[in-house]
Structure 1
Amino acid sequence: MTSSTTDRAGHPDVAEISDLAEGLLPTTRTTDIRRHLEGCDLCADVYASLEEIQELLGALPEPERMPDDVAERIDAALAAEAALDATPGENTSSDDSARVS
């Protein structure tokens, strides 16, 4: 995000504060928002909450690997569905609401 997104009261948009927490803002905008956070408790609280969420998400353990047999069954089901979709004359109805997938 390269442009300023402030509301009428001069507060940065929450998305922009989030970009700051993730280190995605350009240096000049980072400086502006950090200066704003020093004098605005509301925005500083938003920033602190976003940092806390990042820390909590970073502390989650890696998910367990899907068992090979489950992955193989999913792959086979997706391949079968793709084959049905590619078969001419089959499933000619334009209403996909009856399909189960």
Structure 2
Amino acid sequence: MGTITRETRRESFDSVLKTLETRQAVVLKELRKCPRLTANELAVRLWNSGVIPMPERNRVHPRLNELVEAGEVAVTGKRTCSISGKKCAVYEPVDTRSIQGSLF
């Protein structure tokens, strides 16, 4: 990889890094309001509330992956997505799962 490519990749990463935690927090907050959403459903909810500029799954899915890796969100199954009509992963905040689990 050339030096210019490394520099531009690093600059791009640094600019995204500044907002990464904020975007994760927005995704997690919305998922806590309405757990058991697919990435598409979450994207549409955030778009409807004016948080993201387009209702695209790719606007939230990377943040969901990061939150899963951080242990804040879990994939709890699959179901037919109300947006795409396809079987998709369902995401749920980990703290919601532990509260619901303790009730039964």
TM over 0.5: no
TM bucket normalised to smaller: under 0.3
- Decide which structure has the larger Cα Rg and report it: 1
How does the TM-score come out when normalised to structure 2? 0.24
How does the TM-score come out when normalised to structure 1? 0.24
Give the structure with the higher percent strand.
2
Asked which structure has the greater RCO (Cα within 8 Å, sep 6+), the reply is: 2
